[in-house]
Chain A
Amino acid sequence: MTLTGRTALVSALGALLVGFVLPSWLGIAIVQLALLIAILCDLALAAPVRKLRFTRTGETTVRLTGEAHTHLTLTNPSGRTLRAHVRDAWPPSSFHPGSDIAASRHTVRLPPAERRRLTTTLHPTRRGDHHAVRVTVRSYGPLGLAARQGSHHVPWTLRVLPPFTSRKHLPAKLARLRELDGRTSLLTRGEGTEFDSLRDYTPGDDTRSIDWRASARRQDLAVRTWRPERDRRILLVLETGRTSAARIGDIPRLDASMDAALLLGTLAARAGDHVDLLAYDRRIRASVQGRTARDLLPALTDALAPLEAELVEADARGLAAEIHRRTSRRSLIVLFTGLDAAPVEEALLPVLPSLTQRNEVIVAAVADPRIEEMAAGRHSPQAVYAAAAAEQAIAARRHTADRLRRQGITVIDATPAHLAPDLADAYLTLKSTGRL
């Protein structure tokens, strides 16, 4: 039960009656009694909240920065008209900052035995699963003096997918892939390493690719075409321990890694490779296995959407064991982690030889543009000291990266904006040189 502003206003107007007509306890009592009776009547005549029926429909997934609509169908089974304010409560990050009050509230006037659909528009500002919390109804009486209030639980989950901002790089990388493939309209020799087929020579083909033995058999010039190796296995490994929780700019390292993983996964699936995903800190946090190229991207985004970094130290030994369990054949392992000296040298380096023995390994690390900014600072002692500290940090990262490279690992250390394209380029290079 609750009161309204109108109650307070009527009570304030009662002061005129008390002041002019009945300045005594009697006057006060009369005003209170009249107001109390009006409030009780209003409460009795308000439509009951408990009996209302709710059903929910609407979108279940939305990309971050997109907009999702959920529909709440409200049925009034009672014999009284419902005049109500309805609040469809979601976590604050489900709305534009500052607009959550306006966006989550609805004003309803619903005659008996009718139903109405209320639409709540969500603009999620954070990735992950957003759960509808509750629906609160404040049902006013006909006089608008008092209201009944109650809540219903109408569950719904909206999965907010990673934004995949690096998909803008996809056309360029796919063009390069087609070039490798020899499928492009340009008359370049496919740069692949796997024999594909023989075809007739056309002027302009590289003479080095003429297969003389076949030409002799056919009495005509034949060229060999090559294609990049296909059906290779790629395992994307996201380390979700504390090093991934650090924030670079406004987003955690993990989100930058996800973006790069999505681009690489999409590209590799188009190139005909099998892509799996593993997210691990001390246990398996997300896993995608054995998907076909067509439903890989939805599966990846769906698996990555609810993933958050944990404030624990990642278990490198357990991670290596899990990777071994999943890779029966030679694979490309892309490990998204940090390049901080201590965790890499103490935990990762001892287990890496067992991985590099049979597989190709890429370590993708997200660098901080703030450090580069600090390293370029000049003109004041403060800025120069900051530059010195930044150079120190860069040197330490380089040292760690060098130690990894000496083990035959490809290391990509790039800022969030460059990580995804750089990683895609590294993959294409490996593919064109037949190292997968």
Chain B
Amino acid sequence: MTTAAPEAPAPSLTARRLWTRSRGPLVALLLLVISGVILAALQSGEQHGRLDPRSADRSGSRALARLLAGQGVSLQVVTTSEEAARASGPGTTLLITDPDVLTQKQLTALHTATAHAAGRTVLLTPGSASLWTFAPGVQAQPATGNSPRKPACSLPDAHRAGSVLLGGLRYTTSDERTDRCYPVRGRPTLLRLPAAGNGRDTVLLGSADFLYNQHLAEHGNASLALQLLGAHHHLIWYLPSVSDPSSAHDQRSFLDLIPSGWSWALLQLTIAAGLAAVWRARRLGPLVPERLPVTVPAAETTEGHARLYEQAGARDRAATVLRSATRTRLAPLLGVPPTHAHAPDRLLPALHTHLTVHADTGTDLHTLLFGPAPADDRALVQLADQLDALESSIVSQERHAPREHPDR
């Protein structure tokens, strides 16, 4: 609304005033857009295409995808949880790159879809929400830095791979059958939960850095990655995305999304609003009363009278009044004394002598001036017009006729 205003071909004064008024908000809006663009430009780059098997970026995983293809593993990239659930049949590996962005509903749906099919589920840096669904009983511990770690476990894959760049989240569990590998200060960063009868095991990784193009060639990274992800012939590579329609049914309200500090700021803003109310509430002195005059329009009773006539359809009364008024005005013009203005035998002869000059309109003067009440409203309007015509013909005749007594 405000952006279009300066271009509008409005009168110069208005346009200038509009511009003066709106330039503040416009500048603020421009600053907001520019800072947004700058922030977006700074924040992108490194994170773009992270763990994407099609990305040749440093944090992409195209190298790993090529290696897997060379090993005869067919790779399918999916971006919605429904697709992932449909594709992960028996004998497949499901890799979820960022399980924490999934909603609880999506996690449960994925878990039930994969629960009865043999295979493997690999979760990268799962937090407590995804652990609760996919690996009950496992707790995530605070993150550590990434560095090459020794396997320190009996898992054959890890044993073959040797030291791998790992770190990040660490996991603890009380289950004795799990393989705990690559520990950092006693707590493992790779956890393999064995199959619970359906032949599907779950692998948790505390850090995904060793899967990046950038790090794949170092240490035993490639070996561990190939063994973990190439255990079955099909690999479902699930890249959770925000545009997934099933995540739209998010149960979190607006207030849950606000960081906790801002609820305090909101309280402060409420106080500010209260202060603004105090500011606006105090008037600069009380209102000054005005002693108002009486407003009774003088014509009000007459107008009420007119409406009463109309409602009652008082054509007879209205016609009588109009005829009487015309006769009263005509009498002095015709030389009839006012007292005889309403007597037909005095007025009509005088009228006839005056009208001989003009061709008579054909209307019967007696009916016009003394006749019965009109039958309907149209006849009443017509009567009024005829009375007017009669009067104006007499008046114009008087004006043009030579005066008998030109005294002043």
* Residues of A participating in the B interface, judged by any CB pair closer than 8 Å: 2-5, 7-9, 11-12, 14-16, 18-20, 22-24, 27-28, 31-32, 85, 87, 89-93, 105, 126, 133-134, 136, 138, 149, 151, 245-248, 252-253, 308-309, 311, 368, 370-371, 374-375, 378-382, 384-395, 398
Contact = CB atoms under 8 A, between A and B. Distances in A.
Interface of B: 260-269, 271-273, 275-276, 278-279, 282, 284-285, 288-291, 293-299, 301-303, 305-307, 309-310, 314, 317-319, 321-322, 324-325, 328, 377-378, 380-381, 384-385, 388
B275 A11 contact: yes
B381 A391 contact: no
A248 to B, nearest CB: 5
Contact of A85 (B273, B284, B310, B325): B284
Contact of A389 (B276, B305, B328): B305
A93 B285 CA distance: 17
A379 B285 CA distance: 55
B386 to A, nearest CB: 11
Contacts, number: 178
Given A5-B276, A90-B288, A380 B381 contact: yes
Taking each of B276, B301, B302, which has the highest tally of chain A beta carbons within 10 Å of its own beta carbon?
B302
Contacts of A390: 302, 306
Contact of A8 (B272, B299, B325): B272
Given A388-B322, A394-B325, 14 more contacts: A3-B279, A15-B269, A22-B264, A23-B263, A93-B290, A105-B284, A149-B282, A368-B299, A385-B318, A386-B306, A388-B317, A390-B306, A392-B302, A395-B325
A18 B264 contact: yes
Contacts of B278: 2-3
A246 B321 contact: no
Contacts of B291: 91
Contacts of A370: 297-299, 302
Given A24-B264, A245-B296, A388-B318, A378 B385 contact: yes
A45 B310 CA distance: 73
A9 B271 CA distance: 11
A389 B293 contact: no
Contact of B309 (A8, A28, A247, A388): A388
Contact of B260 (A23, A151, A391): A23
B380 A92 contact: no
B264 A19 contact: yes
A393 B265 CA distance: 73
Contacts of B261: 18-20, 23
Nearest to A391: B325
A394 B299 CA distance: 11
A248 B294 CA distance: 12
B interface, by DSSP: helix, strand, loop or mixed? helix
A384 B318 contact: yes
Nearest to A20: B261
A7 B328 CA distance: 77
B189 to A, nearest CB: 33
6 contacts: A5-B276, A7-B275, A12-B268, A91-B291, A253-B298, A385-B309
A interface, by DSSP: helix, strand, loop or mixed? helix
B296 A395 contact: no
B282 to A, nearest CB: 4
Given A3-B279, A308-B293, A387-B322, A371 B299 contact: yes
Taking each of A4, A9, A388, which has the highest tally of chain B beta carbons within 10 Å of its own beta carbon?
A388
A371 B296 CA distance: 15
B302 to A, nearest CB: 5
Contacts of A253: 298
A392 to B, nearest CB: 5
Given A8-B275, A24-B264, A371-B302, A384 B288 contact: no
A89 B298 contact: no
A87 B284 contact: yes
Given A384-B318, A391-B325, A247 B285 contact: no
A23 B264 contact: yes
Contact of B294 (A4, A15, A309, A380): A309
A335 to B, nearest CB: 18
B215 to A, nearest CB: 36
Contact of A15 (B265, B303, B307): B265
A389 B290 contact: no
A89 B285 contact: yes
Contacts of B381: 378-381, 384
Taking each of B295, B307, B317, B325, which has the highest tally of chain A beta carbons within 10 Å of its own beta carbon?
B325
A133 B279 CA distance: 24
A91 B262 CA distance: 48
B59 to A, nearest CB: 30
Given A20-B261, A28-B267, A384-B381, A392 B321 contact: yes
B388 A378 contact: yes
Contact of A374 (B263, B279, B303, B325): B303
B268 A14 contact: yes
Contacts of B307: 385
A247 B303 contact: no
Contacts of A19: 261-262, 264-265, 268
Nearest to B258: A19
Given A2-B279, A374-B302, A14 B285 contact: no
Contacts of A378: 381, 384-385, 388
A374 to B, nearest CB: 7
Contacts of A92: 288, 290
A386 B263 CA distance: 69
Nearest to A151: B285
A114 B6 CA distance: 46
B292 to A, nearest CB: 9
Taking each of B260, B276, B289, which has the highest tally of chain A beta carbons within 10 Å of its own beta carbon?
B276
Contact of B298 (A24, A90, A368, A391): A368
Nearest to B309: A385
B268 to A, nearest CB: 4
A393 B321 CA distance: 10
Contacts of B294: 245, 247, 252, 309, 311
